[in-house]
Structure 1
Amino acid sequence: MSDRRLQVFHAVAKHGSFTRAAEHLHMTQPAVTFQIKQLEDHLNVRLLERGHGKISLTTTGELVLAYAEKILDLSEELDSRVAELAGELAGKLDIGSIPAIAGYWLPPILERFKRKYPRVLPRVVMGNSRHIEEGVAAREIDIGFIEAATDNPAVEPRVATQEELVVICSPDHPLARHKQLTAQDLAAHPFIDRDPGSGLRQAAHDFFKAAGIAEDKITLCAELGSLTAVKHFVAAGMGFAITSKRTSRLDVQEGRVTAIPLEPRTFTTLQMILPRDKFRSRLITTFADFVCDEIARIAREEEGAQ
C-alpha cells in the first residue's frame, strides 16, 4: 500500500536506469518517467541528475532514497502484520546464518516450513557469527543462527543444540591414521583456520588453549572464511582443519576427507537468536517455535538411526 511514486523512485535509484527500472517493475519507460516527475513536482526538488546516458542522485535524492527505503519496508511490514491478524501467515522473513547451519540445518527446516506456510518468503544471508549477531541486534535481520553462545543484551537466544567437532584431513595425511587426536598431536601440523568472528574459530582456539598450547605455537597454514574453501584446501592435502562432524559427513562418505574425533571430545554451540522486541511479529515467533520443534525432531531421528 506504499506510494507508487516512491516505489518507482527506489527502483530507478537502485538500478541506475529508467529502462532497467521499467523492466523490473513491468512498466513502460514513459510511465516510469511520469512517476518520477510527479514525485519531483510534489516535493518541489530535483531528485536525479540525467546526463551522458547516466543517472545519479542529487544530494536531496540521496536523502529521499533513505526515507523511501524506510517507508517501503514499513509498508511491507504493515501488509504482513495485517495479513497475520486476518489469520494468514505471509511476508518476508530475513534470516542470517553461518554457512554451516545454512547448508546443513536450514534446508530441510525451510522446506517443511514453506510447505506449511507457502506465502512466506524466506531470505537467507550468510556471514560469520559476529556479523549475524550484529545484524540481529540492529534489527536488520529477523532471526539469526550462530555458532557461539551470546551474552549480547540486544538479542534473545531461543534454542541451542550442540555439534561435535572433529579434525578433517586428506586420507593420505599423517594424521589420518589416528583414532583420536589431542591438541599436542595437532600443534606441529599445518592448520587451516577460520576467519576472525567465526564461532568455530573460537571453539578451535579454546581447544588448544585448554591444552596449554598458545596461538603462536600452532602451525598456521591459512585463514578462510568459506567452509567450502576449507574443505577444498584440506582435500588437497594443505593441512588439517577443525569443523563439525555434521558438515564433514558427506565429504567423509565420498572419500574426499577423513574425520578423526578430538580428545577430549569437544562441542560447539549452535544457537538461534532474535532481536529483543515485545512487539515481535507472529511470523517471526511462529518460525522460531517451528525451528525449535524441527531441531528436536531431527536430533531424535539421528539418535534412532545410530
Structure 2
Amino acid sequence: MNTTQLECFLAVANFLNFSRAAEQLRITQPAVSHQISSLEDELGTKLFFRTSKSVRLTQAGHLFTQYANEILKLSGLSRARLKECQETLPQRFGIGCRNFIELRLLRPVLAQLGQQQPRLLPVLRLLPYASLENLLAEDDVQVLLSLQESAPSKAVYRELARCPLVCICTPDHPLAAYDQLTIEQVKNGGRIATCPPPIYPPALFSVQNQVVAERDPDQMLFCDNLEIVHTLVEAGYAFAIMPDLPPARIPGLRYIPIPAFSTISFGAVYRKDSRNATLRLFLSSLESLMQSAFSQAPQV
C-alpha cells in the first residue's frame, strides 16, 4: 500500500467519478483505475461498485475512507516532522585523514567553516588508507586529504598544492646549518627516521631509498607511522624527509628544502556525485589556505 493508491481512492470516493478524480490528481484515468485495482487486490475486497453509468462505495469502501484519511494525515505529519528535524539538526560533514599532519592542516579551515556554516558538524576520521577509501565509496566521509599517488583511482582528485620535499630536523641538528640541502649532504646527514609504503607513497619512498642506500642499520629508524617519525625528530634522534605543508608545520623544527627532488602533488579526494555546497566551500577554503601559506611561508 502506498500514498498514491490512497490519494486515488479518496479522490474517487469524493467525486464518485474516475474521470473527475484523474483530472484533480492530474494523471490519466487508466492510471487511477490501476491504482484502485491494485489497492483492492492488496486489501482483498472491493471498494467500489462500478457500472458503465455510476460508481458507488461498497461497505468496505465506506469503512476504508476513515483509515485512508488517517494514514495520509500521518504520512504528511511524518514528512513535516522529518523536515523540521533536518532543518534543526547539525549538518554532518565527514573528512578523512591518514595522519596527524593532515589533521593539523584542517584546523584553520574548520574554524572558517564553523563561522560560515554554524550548523556544520565536522566528523573527522583518522584511519589507514584502505579503510578511508571504503568510507569514501560508501559516502561515510565526503572528502579525504591525500597525496595524488595515494588517491583512490575511482574518485575525483583535486590538486591543492605542489609540495617540495624538505628535511625536517631540530635547530641543533648538523643539517640545520644549511638553507637548502643537496642529496649528498642528506646522505651524510646522520640518522634518518623513515616509514614503509603505503605511508610513504612511491615517489617519496624512492627518494628515501636514495638517501638510505649503503647506510648502516643503526643510521636508520624504521617507524610504523608519521607520528612516531615526528616524535623521534623532535627528540633529536633523527631527521626525516617529508613533503612540506606550511600550514601544518610543527613549531620548533627546521624545514630545509632539497631542490634536487621533485615536488609532490597534494590535494583533496571526493566522489564524482558529491559536489554539494559544503564540499565546495571546504575545497575553496582549503585551497585559499594552501595558496596563502605557500606564498608566505619562510624557510625555517
The alignment partner of 1:264 has SS state of: coil
Closer/same/farther in 2, CA of residues 96 and 248 from structure 1, 3 Å limit: closer
Q: Deviations over 1:181-238 (max 9, x none)?
A: 233332353221135322x4544323246xxx386545521214143x3222112221
Counterpart amino acid of 1:137? A
**Residue segments in structure 2 that go unaligned for 5+ positions in a row:** 1-78
Match of 1:291 in 2: 282
Whether the aligned pair in 2 keeps the contact of 1:163 and 1:246 (CA below 8 Å) is no
The alignment partner of 1:146 has SS state of: strand
Count residues in correspondence. 212
What is the Cα deviation at residue 242 of structure 1? Answer: 1.4
Counterpart amino acid of 1:287? T
Instruction: Give, in whole Å, the separation in 2 of the partners of 1:83 and 1:149.
Output: 43
Closer/same/farther in 2, CA of residues 246 and 127 from structure 1, 3 Å limit: farther
What is the Cα deviation at residue 151 of structure 1? Answer: 6.3
Correspondence for 2:269 among 260, 270, 273: 273
Match of 1:113 in 2: 113
Counterpart amino acid of 1:289? R
Q: Deviations over 1:62-112 (max 9, x none)?
A: xxxxxxxxxxxxxxxx99x9579x8889532221113222212x1121122
Whether the aligned pair in 1 keeps the contact of 2:109 and 2:289 (CA below 8 Å) is no
Closer/same/farther in 2, CA of residues 127 and 193 from structure 1, 3 Å limit: farther
The alignment partner of 2:141 has SS state of: coil
Residue pairs, 1:38-187, within 5 angstroms: 90-98=90-98, 99-104=100-105, 106-149=106-149, 152-187=152-187
Closer/same/farther in 2, CA of residues 300 and 115 from structure 1, 3 Å limit: same
TM-score relative to the length of structure 1: 0.57
Instruction: Give, in whole Å, the separation in 2 of the partners of 1:90 and 1:145.
Output: 23
Instruction: Give, in whole Å, the separation in 2 of the partners of 1:139 and 1:290.
Output: 18
Deviates more, 1:128-137 or 1:284-293: 128-137
The alignment partner of 1:171 has SS state of: coil
Whether the aligned pair in 1 keeps the contact of 2:159 and 2:265 (CA below 8 Å) is no
Q: Rg larger in 1 or in 2?
A: 2
Identity across the alignment (%): 18
**Residue segments in structure 1 that go unaligned for 5+ positions in a row:** 1-77
RMSD value over aligned CA atoms? 3.5
Instruction: Give, in whole Å, the separation in 1 of the partners of 2:128 and 2:205.
Output: 16
2:195 matched to 1:194? yes
Deviates more, 1:167-176 or 1:87-96: 87-96
The alignment partner of 2:171 has SS state of: coil
